[in-house]
Amino acid sequence: MVKQLLRELLTVGTTTGVVLLTQDRPFPWSLWTAVLAALLLPVRLRWPWLASLICVPAVAGGLGWAPALVAQYRLGREEKSVPVQLLWVVLLTAASVLPAVLTETVPLGPLLLATAFSFGLSAAPTALGALVTTRKDLTQSLYETRRARAAELEALETSARAAERARIAREIHDAVGHHATLIAVESAALAATAPDDTVRATALRLRALAKESLSEMRTALGLLNSDTTYPSLQELVDRARVAGVSVTLTETGDGVTTPAVSRALFRVVQESLTNVTKHAPGAPVTVTVDRGSPLRVTVVNGPSDLPTQADGGGAGLHGLSERVRLVGGTLTTSYRADGGFSVTAVLPPGKPKANDQDSTFGGGARDPATA
């Protein structure tokens, strides 16, 4: 606002000064019409045609070319119609030539020369203003074209990634699903033929786990609806106890969480218990869940004196950290002074920041066996 005001003061002051410094005043009304045209130049910002109209008598008086140049430049910037622009150029040219024709005898040669000069003098700022506007429009059009092209390329890349993810999902489903199905079938067959009750119970449990793994894999790959029911934390802990893990579960608070946060909570406990069975077999585990705001879950295991499994590259915790981050939480892991290990996740109770679905390719559930 201040810059615009200073610019207008400079424009009006300069044009008025040029008018006042001109000594040749052909008509008695030449000076005041030119000064009036210079002082009223700010109206061109709202009505360019009005500023040009005010300059017509000033140009006819012979002193109005300074404000007329400014007015015509603005007219060229704002007026899109070339015939209208040409009309104002012709009008100013006529206003400049007619007084001389009507008051004195001018030879044809000088008259044509004066007409051409006046036409060029009024047409030049008009054309310059039109060119500036055209350049601005072309620049904006080029920017929009580049942005549209960038959006198109991004859409193509997204489509290509989606197609590749779908292909990988089908391959994973065909390969892993085949083996999981065989495990379920053979476990059922073992349960039907085994004479020992313990063996039958173990086989049935393996069959249930294989079917659940197959269902979760399909859900993670987007092959089933996203409303698959997860076991409760108590059921998860009970399964770990059956597998020989000494687990203590403590839950406090009654806060309500979103499905995405609930799945993240389930995966934190599941992955932590899986890591204990691999890296600290026989160690006692304490699972503490505070369903407050925010929700906090801590899984702590003590040291183990039994041999640990050396396979796995630790990708499980990286995937788990990404899953927690996608729902707006944080995951902290640390070694304890007694040789144990601690996993703490802080999860938000509100709306998640990511899509409310498991996604193997978007930081979702990883196979616990890779931990």
Domain boundaries, the chain: 2-140, 231-371
- 8 Å CB contact between 139 and 146: no
H helix or E strand, kind and range, residue 352: none
**What is residue 359's predicted lDDT score, i.e. its pLDDT?**
39
**What is residue 350's predicted lDDT score, i.e. its pLDDT?**
56
**What is residue 286's predicted lDDT score, i.e. its pLDDT?**
94
If we measure between CA atoms, which residue out of 77, 24, 22, 21 comes closest to residue 49? 77
Second-level CATH architecture of 231-371: 2-Layer Sandwich (3.30)
Rounded to whole angstroms, how far apart are CA atoms 166 and 172? 10
**What is residue 318's predicted lDDT score, i.e. its pLDDT?**
79
Rounded to whole angstroms, how far apart are CA atoms 223 and 361? 14
- pLDDT values of the chain reduced to their tens digit, one per residue, 371 residues: 788 888 888 888 888 888 888 877 788 888 888 889 889 889 888 999 999 899 988 888 888 888 999 999 999 999 888 899 999 999 998 888 888 778 777 788 888 888 898 899 889 999 999 999 999 999 999 999 998 888 888 888 888 887 777 777 777 776 777 778 778 878 888 888 888 888 888 888 888 888 888 777 777 666 544 455 667 888 888 888 887 889 999 998 887 777 778 888 888 998 898 888 888 888 899 999 998 888 999 999 998 877 665 455 456 777 788 888 888 899 999 999 988 999 999 998 754 444 444 433 333 333 333 33
SS3 191: helix
User: pTM for this structure?
Assistant: 0.46
**What is residue 239's predicted lDDT score, i.e. its pLDDT?**
85
**What is residue 364's predicted lDDT score, i.e. its pLDDT?**
37
**What is residue 314's predicted lDDT score, i.e. its pLDDT?**
55
- 8 Å CB contact between 225 and 263: no
